[in-house]
């Protein structure tokens, strides 16, 4: 059966590493250590090494990671947290759940990441944190963000759920992994992410020892010693079976990123020169690991292109169709918001299939279809 070209091929990826994964899963089942235990410690240690030695606290999901990180800052009800308006939902969700005030700012039209000048304009004495989101696989401009944060005594929590494995190079030439530059980094191991498990999972990381101790307590019911609860916490753990899968997949992470980068460069070359298409731009710092390959389609043609591709068995997705301030759950917080770049991106963006196993021929086919569509966009 031909299922067409999906956004991802997780089954194809598993088939390639099945032997290694199955052995580690069986080990966990044989050990009957399903919660915490040695495999979770092993994964946290591997991850710490990969990130250059930060403290790692694994947890139940990327959304939990963001909530735990914000709780660790011990902010007061009503404190302001700045986030990009063109974004996944988790960030605003946890801000509102904790009684904090989300301040939505516009993004950069080239990198789709939070705009530095818009952050600057939004800072008041109530601002206590910024949560830059490294969107689609590319870092936000962390050096500029850290500089604003330092000047104003504000915390920075990096939402690295989409860019795990990407790097950021600052003007002094120092290269760091995304998520390790701010005070606290958060990531998700949701199956579709760059480092994905086979269920839910996440991690919080920091090089600050005090934050690390607090985060560890918060993720474990606010306790350091069992049954002695010092602060309000929650129950958020990475499953041992997921940790087993992640120890294997971490070893493939950079290879998978390189495979997606190669796919992105083929897309770039094949789609160059089509007037209605804006190719994804790279910032002049760091790497882009292409969690998504996201085009901008102008002249209102996105919907018909998406339909045209679907008829030819090619999936495509709109990340994201609505600015956060137009999501029904949050419109009452932002009655007058209208941020021009965010608005435009929401009406133009279209993400194409991208995954390590995507073949050159398949990319060629997708690009041929796109070129055919633009050769005669009104035919269908
Ligand atoms: C996926 C994602 C999250 C949430 O991760 P979950 O593990 O699904 O909770 C948070 N932020 C961004 C930017 C994401 O893409």
| Local confidence pLDDT in tens for the 380 residues of the chain | 457 999 999 999 999 999 999 999 999 999 999 998 999 999 999 999 999 999 999 999 999 999 999 999 999 999 999 999 999 999 999 999 999 999 999 999 999 999 999 999 999 999 999 999 999 999 999 999 999 999 999 999 999 999 999 999 999 999 999 999 999 999 999 999 999 999 999 999 999 999 999 999 999 999 999 999 999 999 999 999 999 999 999 999 999 999 999 999 999 999 999 999 999 999 888 999 999 999 999 999 999 999 999 999 999 999 999 999 999 999 999 989 999 999 999 999 999 999 999 999 999 999 999 999 999 876 65
Report whether residue 62 contacts ligand 1, using a CB cutoff of 6 Å: yes
pLDDT at 1: 41
Q: 179 CB less than 6 Å from ligand 1?
A: no
pLDDT at 283: 86
Whether 178 is in the pocket of ligand 1, judged by its Cβ within 6 Å, is no
Pairing of the two strands 127-130 and 155-159: parallel
117 CB contacts (<8 Å, ≥6 apart)?
Answer: none
Ligand 1 pocket member 188 (CB < 6 A): yes
Q: Whose CA is nearest to atom 14 of ligand 1?
A: 161
Contacts of 30 (CB under 8 A, 6+ apart): none
Say if residue 187 is exposed, middle or buried (CB neighbours under 10 Å; 0-12, 13-18, 19+).
Answer: buried
Rounded distance between C-alpha atoms, residue 228 and residue 296, angstroms:
53
Q: For residue 376, what pLDDT is reported? A: 83
Ligand 1 centroid – CA 72 distance (Å):
19
Does the beta carbon of 166 sit less than 6 angstroms from any atom of ligand 1?
no
162 Cβ inside 6 Å of ligand 1: yes
Task: Find out whether the beta carbon of 93 lies less than 6 Å from any atom of ligand 1.
Answer: no
Distance from Cα 33 to the centre of ligand 1, integer Å: 27
**Distance of alpha carbon 160 from alpha carbon 165, whole angstroms:** 9
Q: Which pLDDT value is given to residue 163?
A: 98
Q: Which of 188, 194, 239, 324 has most ligand 1 atoms within 8 Å of CB, for mutation?
A: 188
Which residues, at least 6 apart from 348, have a Cβ–Cβ distance to it below 8 Å? 278, 296, 297, 298, 302
Q: Give all domains of the chain, ordered by start, each with its CATH number.
A: 10-106+114-251 (3.40.640.10), 253-379 (3.90.1150.10)
């Amino acid at each position: 059966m031909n299922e067409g070209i999906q956004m991802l091929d997780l089954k194809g990826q598993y088939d390639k590493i099945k032997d290694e994964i199955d052995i580690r899963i069986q080990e966990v089942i044989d050990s009957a250590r399903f919660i915490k235990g040695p495999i979770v410690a092993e994964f946290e240690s591997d991850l710490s090494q990969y990130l250059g030695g930060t403290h790692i606290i694994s947890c139940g999901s990327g959304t939990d990671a963001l909530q735990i990180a914000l709780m660790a800052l011990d902010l007061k009800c009503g404190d302001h947290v700045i986030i990009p308006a063109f974004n996944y939902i988790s960030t605003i969700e946890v801000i509102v759940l904790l009684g904090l005030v989300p301040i939505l700012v516009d993004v950069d039209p080239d990198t789709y990441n939070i705009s530095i000048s818009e952050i600057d304009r939004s800072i008041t004495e109530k601002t206590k944190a910024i949560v830059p989101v490294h969107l689609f696989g590319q870092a936000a401009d962390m050096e500029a963000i850290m500089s604003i944060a330092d000047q104003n005594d504000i915390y920075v929590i990096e939402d690295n759920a989409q860019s795990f494995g990407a790097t950021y190079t600052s003007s002094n030439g120092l290269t760091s992994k995304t998520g390790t530059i701010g005070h606290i980094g958060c990531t998700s191991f949701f199956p579709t992410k760059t480092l994905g498990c086979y269920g839910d999972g996440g991690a919080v990381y920091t090089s600050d020892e005090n934050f690390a101790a607090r985060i560890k307590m918060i993720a474990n019911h606010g306790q350091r010693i069992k049954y002695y609860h010092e602060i309000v916490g929650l129950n958020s753990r990475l499953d041992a079976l997921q940790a087993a899968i992640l120890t294997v997949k971490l070893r493939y992470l950079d290879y998978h990123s390189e495979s997606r980068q190669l796919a992105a460069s083929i897309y770039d070359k094949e789609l160059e020169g089509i007037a209605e298409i804006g190719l994804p731009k790279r910032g002049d710092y760091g790497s882009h690991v292409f969690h998504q390959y996201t085009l901008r389609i102008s002249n209102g043609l996105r919907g018909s292109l998406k339909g045209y591709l679907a008829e030819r068995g090619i999936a495509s997705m709109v990340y994201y169709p609505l600015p956060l301030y137009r999501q029904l759950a949050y419109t009452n917080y932002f009655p007058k918001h209208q941020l021009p770049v965010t608005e435009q991106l929401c009406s133009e963006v279209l993400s194409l299939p991208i995954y390590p196993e995507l073949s050159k021929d398949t990319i060629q086919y997708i690009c041929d279809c796109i070129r055919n569509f633009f050769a005669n966009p009104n035919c269908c």
